[in-house]
Chains A and B, each alone.
Chain A
Amino acid sequence: MKGKRKKEEWAGNLWDEGFSGHKVQKSRKRAAILISFIGFCFFAISIRLFDLMLLQHEALANRANRQYLRTKTLKPQRGVIWDRNLRELAINVEVDSLYAVPSEVSSIEALSSGLAPVINVSYNKLVSAISAKKDKDFIWVMRKMDEETSHNVTALKEREKFKGIDFVTETKRFYPKGQTAAHILGFTNIDNKGISGLELQYDEYMRGTEKKVFMGKDARGKSLAPGIEDELAGSSMILTIDEGLQYIVERELSQAMSDWEAAAAVAIMIRPSTGEILAMANMPTYDPNLPGESVNDNKRNRAITDMYEPGSTLKAVLSSVAYEEGVVSLNQMFDVSRGFIVVGGKPIKDVHRNGVLSFQDVIKKSSNVGAVQIGMKLGKERYYSYLKKFGFGDRTGIDMPGEVSGILRSPARWSGTSIGAISIGQEIGVTPLQLVRAYSAIANGGLLMKPYVVSEIISDTGESIKRNTPVAAERVMSARTAKVITDILKGVTETGGTGKNAEVAGNLVAGKTGTAQKIDPNTGLYSKNKFISSFVGFAPADDPELALIVVVYEPKGATYGGVVAAPVFRRIVENAFAYLNIPMEKNENHIMLVDNSR
């Protein structure tokens, strides 16, 4: 009632002011239309806002972010590799990579003619590379260039005012010690992915994970502060390798290559009590900073990828097994006076004629005939089972890629001559690592250790992710047998032994020489002029600090392990002992007293 009265009053007022009823009616209509229109507009806007703010929220927010924010992918640096004394073996440096935006290049020909001589690429190649992707926004011109080239390109770009080329900073793997430990470290490809060696084996740890960050940019595309400080890095590694020992081994091996004009040479130094690899060297070698400049053959880590017939170096294993099984005693004598023995219808000869030899002298003088007699007493089943226990025919499990298992046939596949051949280190394929590991077991009182190269992996925040500790894989002989065999092996490097040249002044060495004929791939028979000379042993014999194997492939001028490999062994051990501050055991009468008065 009250509302109706108000309306009438309002109409009366309008009437008073000269409006006719018709006009009022019309105005009301107009107002209703206007109100409806405004209402509709609000409704439409609401619908649109609902659509924009709720339904399309995510897509539009992303679009806005793309306009305002720049996404940058932070690539982690590869972890550092240190030796056991925390000396850097593999690090990262930042270098420039040159890219082009072909759509922005005004003259491909002019750019190519200027750039080609500076970056040392042919003009035609550069023109065709840029022209082929003319419509694209990005093309690599040269990645990871050196400082000098980068400076020259910058100068050229400024001088000639070239448009459409620019630099981006990338991380490059750098091996500051050059060729040192090249086969252990391996190398990476242009994208910093591990290709060989430890770089490959531990790639997952070392490469780290990429991270995307957003940073504001202005209208010109200039980046604002990213608001992050952290640099990404993969995990780093501490090796068991000692750079100093590695250098000594490589230096002496290189010298041996030159002295004997050998085809190749390998040396592995291992700590017998733990299985830690202290040094592992291969010759010929390569520079991991320039892997493309070496042939693939030089990049092969023969220490674990190549097997060979160990020859007489296997006699130490044979004698330890025979002694452990009680088939021979220290005083037992072997008649080798005929100079040969027939096994399976084939004669096996001694290099030098001997008379009757004791068990110790069979090893000391490396008598093939005596070794065959020991092997036949032992029997193929027992010998085979021990060879397996020593790890022959199986991978050692070292944390490096490409290891082979070698060849050790089961007794069922042995021929009539096999027991004789395997007793003198033929018809069996071993890697240098397998053999030095077996000798380490003798040095370690009969415990066969698992070899390893990486001691610890540390995350980018400094936490220890993985720590390798010594693992005893197997007890292959009693401590007593190990002591007896050690004493026998000491005799090898003494006067009358085949390994006299391995004798180290002031310290006792236990070891064994080996000379094996290579198999001629053309005839399938033993070659008459291609040999593999080796020496494997440990020192100081009674408290071994290191075991070492030296293998020289195809030496010229001499073939015997005692002549070719034993001197290399001696030089390495002498230098290593000086480096490690291991005193001379002999000459104790040189003890001096000095006046302490000050």
Chain B
Amino acid sequence: MTTRRRKQNKKWMLLKLGLFIYLIAGVFTIIWFRTEVVSLEYELGELNRQKTGFIREQRLIMAERASFYSVKNIEETAVKVLGMSPPERKNIYYVERTEGAVPYKVSLNKP
């Protein structure tokens, strides 16, 4: 076998080896990507479940808030807990702010 032939064979071998490594690396990269995607999907699924749980909790809190804010509850709290009483209409004065340096006009008329 001539030296030239041997060199050619060596080149060919190196090329084959390179191709083989490239192929293996490619396969592993694809598998790695796929694994990463799947694990991200798991993670996303878990986050979604957490999100659903938080949304559920948020809805419950909002429902509770809506119940607390009912006019009935507010009146009961104001009267029974805070000792307030509904204002008598005759005691309600509407303050109208007039233009310029004139006194406020206070009347029973709504501004």
| Contact A578 B86, CB 8 Å, known A94-B56, A177-B70, A596-B101 | yes
Q: List the B side residues contacting A169 at CB < 8 Å.
A: 52, 56
Assess the A588–B107 pair: CB atoms within 8 A: yes
| Interface pick from A196-204, A222-230, A324-332 | A222-230
Q: List the A side residues contacting B81 at CB < 8 Å.
A: none
Q: How far is the CB of B58 from chain A (nearest CB, A)?
A: 10
* Most chain A CB within a 10 A radius of its CB, from B41, B86, B102: B41
Assess the A224–B89 pair: CB atoms within 8 A: no
Partner of B89, one of A93, A577, A591: A577
| Interface pick from B3-11, B21-29, B60-68 | B60-68
Closest residue to B71 on the A side, CB-wise? A247
Assess the A592–B93 pair: CB atoms within 8 A: yes
What's the Cα separation between A574 and B93 when bound, in Å? 16
B108 interfacial by beta-carbon distance below 8 Å: yes
Closest residue to B64 on the A side, CB-wise? A176
Assess the A177–B107 pair: CB atoms within 8 A: no
Assess the A583–B41 pair: CB atoms within 8 A: no
Partner of A583, one of B56, B101, B102, B108: B108
Assess the A176–B67 pair: CB atoms within 8 A: yes
A296 interfacial by beta-carbon distance below 8 Å: no
Chain A positions 564-598 with a Cβ under 8 Å from a chain B Cβ: 574-575, 577-578, 581-584, 587-588, 590-596
| Contact A93 B90, CB 8 Å, known A177-B72, A225-B48, A584-B108 | no
Assess the B103–A180 pair: CB atoms within 8 A: no
Q: How far is the CB of B82 from chain A (nearest CB, A)?
A: 18
| Contact A93 B60, CB 8 Å, known A176-B67, A180-B72 | yes
Assess the A578–B101 pair: CB atoms within 8 A: no
Assess the B69–A87 pair: CB atoms within 8 A: yes
What's the Cα separation between A176 and B70 when bound, in Å? 8
What's the Cα separation between A88 and B71 when bound, in Å? 12
What's the Cα separation between A247 and B69 when bound, in Å? 13
Q: Size band of the B side of the interface?
A: 35 or more
Q: How far is the CB of A238 from chain B (nearest CB, A)?
A: 15
| Contact A224 B90, CB 8 Å, known A92-B59, A594-B103 | no
What's the Cα separation between A112 and B43 when bound, in Å? 37
Closest residue to A574 on the B side, CB-wise? B89
| Contact A592 B101, CB 8 Å, known A91-B62, A216-B41, A506-B90 | no
What's the Cα separation between A11 and B92 when bound, in Å? 126
**Interface code A393-417, partner B: CB below 8 Å = 1, 0 otherwise?**
0000000000000000000000000
A503 interfacial by beta-carbon distance below 8 Å: no
A284 interfacial by beta-carbon distance below 8 Å: no
Chain A positions 451-467 with a Cβ under 8 Å from a chain B Cβ: none
Assess the B89–A505 pair: CB atoms within 8 A: yes
**Interface code B96-111, partner A: CB below 8 Å = 1, 0 otherwise?**
0000011111111110
**Interface code A61-94, partner B: CB below 8 Å = 1, 0 otherwise?**
0000000000000000000000000011001111
Partner of B71, one of A93, A244, A584: A244
What's the Cα separation between A174 and B70 when bound, in Å? 14
Partner of B103, one of A216, A581, A584, A595: A595
Assess the A176–B63 pair: CB atoms within 8 A: yes
Chain B positions 42-56 with a Cβ under 8 Å from a chain A Cβ: 42-45, 48, 52, 55-56
What's the Cα separation between A584 and B107 when bound, in Å? 10
What's the Cα separation between A231 and B59 when bound, in Å? 13
What's the Cα separation between A546 and B53 when bound, in Å? 45
Q: How far is the CB of A387 from chain B (nearest CB, A)?
A: 37
Closest residue to A83 on the B side, CB-wise? B71
Q: List the B side residues contacting A225 at CB < 8 Å.
A: 40-45, 48
Assess the B89–A177 pair: CB atoms within 8 A: no
Partner of A587, one of B59, B94, B108: B108
| Contact A224 B108, CB 8 Å, known A91-B63, A176-B66, A596-B101 | no
A-B contact pairs, 10 of them (CB 8 A): A87-B69, A93-B59, A177-B67, A226-B48, A577-B89, A582-B110, A583-B107, A583-B109, A592-B106, A594-B95
Given contacts A91-B59, A222-B42, A588-B107, 6 further A-B contacts (CB under 8 A): A177-B66, A180-B71, A224-B45, A225-B45, A225-B48, A583-B108
